[in-house]
Amino acid sequence: MQIGFIGLGNMGGPMAANLAKAGHEVKGFDVAGTTAEGAAQAATAIEAATGADVVITMLPNGDILRQVADEIIPAMKPGAVLLDCSTVDVDSARAVAEQARAAGLGALDAPVSGGVGGAQAGTLTFMVGGDESAFETAKPLFEIMGQKAVHCGPSGNGQAAKICNNMILGATMLVTCEAFALADKLGLSRQAMFDVVSTSSGYSWSMNAYCPAPGVGPKSPADNDYKPGFAAELMLKDLRLAAQAAESADADTPIGTAAMELYRRFVEEEDGRGRDFSAMLPRLETRRRG
């Protein structure tokens, strides 16, 4: 396929490189001037989109997605697919999809899970919203960039799945960190805590696969001085998107809202920026009630 790729950052760059390596003709653009190995460099987003069978976007937020969509949709050829892999608010995803469909294009919102490592290795998971026909068109590309793509329903449902998943992740990581800090003060060793919880009813991905305690369980960012696999500020972004969606849908999400506020304080008022989201454990180790 001819592919336009807009947004060649830490995630988009490796994704575009994997598509080029697989033999697709990729033309990429990034406002920062970054490039992707094997991809031709376009001077503008419009140039990247012109003539492409699929245009992939990987952008920071919904406002920027809307701006880019305004630019590129008129330049895309009829029947092409706009595949947005950004993590943005549900309302923006649905508005851009409607704009694309009105112009005779297919539209998919397909945020990813797996981080920079997954982008480089081609092992991302895609949560996809949009038309079945557009999903089938993009399926070969998902198979190159990732290991799994789940069609979640109509436009916006990919974003909905991503933020619901990450609301669970943020809350479970917080309570896992709280439990380790409590265990410390009760005199329970972290290894004993892990051995019990990881095989009991408290097990979770945060405990079993991404343990926030250094030296316990599989290797994780905790074993690398909490250098981010998933940065705390990105978790805050996703929890804010969940809160925005909950407000729009009139859904009661008190635990998600509490998690958002704790990560907001950690990132904006403390030392959380640039650290992994599991670095809540050292934050909690020295704190007292209240």
Q: Domains of the chain by range and CATH?
A: 2-153 (3.40.50.720), 160-286 (1.10.1040.10)
Tokens at 10, concatenated: 């830490």
* 139 backbone φψ class: left, alpha, beta (φ>0; ψ -120 to 50): alpha
What backbone torsions phi and psi does residue 30 show, to the nearest 5 degrees?
-145, 140
Is 162 noted as a catalytic residue in this protein? yes
Residue type, 7: G
What are residue 54's DSSP bridge partners? 3, 81
End-to-end Cα, the chain, rounded Å: 57
| Local structure of 231: helix, strand or coil | strand
Q: What are the residues whose beta carbons fall under 8 Å from the beta carbon of 261, sequence distance 6 or more?
A: none
> What is the dihedral sign for C-alpha 117, 123, 129, 131?
positive
Task: Given the residues 162, 185, 219, 237, select the one marked as catalytic.
Answer: 162
Count CB atoms within 10 A of the CB of residue 133.
11
Distance, in Å, from the CA atom of 267 to the CA atom of 139, rounded to the nearest integer, reads: 37
pLDDT at residue 218, as a whole number: 96
Q: What local confidence, expressed as pLDDT, does residue 116 receive?
A: 86
The alpha carbon of residue 252 and the mean position of all alpha carbons in its chain are separated, in whole angstroms, by: 23
Distance CA(88)–CA(244), nearest Å, equals 11
pLDDT value of residue 69: 98
d(CA 210, CA 266): 19
pLDDT of residue 287: 80
From the number of C-beta atoms within 10 Å of its C-beta (0-12, 13-18, 19+), residue 35 rates as middle
3-state secondary structure of 184: helix
pLDDT along the chain (290 residues), means of 10: 96 97 98 95 97 97 97 97 97 97 98 91 97 96 97 97 96 98 97 98 96 97 95 96 95 98 97 97 86
The alpha carbon torsion through 207, 208, 210, 216 (nearest 10 deg) reads: 80
The whole-angstrom separation of Cα 119 and Cα 110 is 14
What are the b/e assignments for 175-191, b being 16+ CB within 10 Å?
bbbebbbebbeeeeebe
- The pLDDT score that the predictor gives to residue 257 is 97
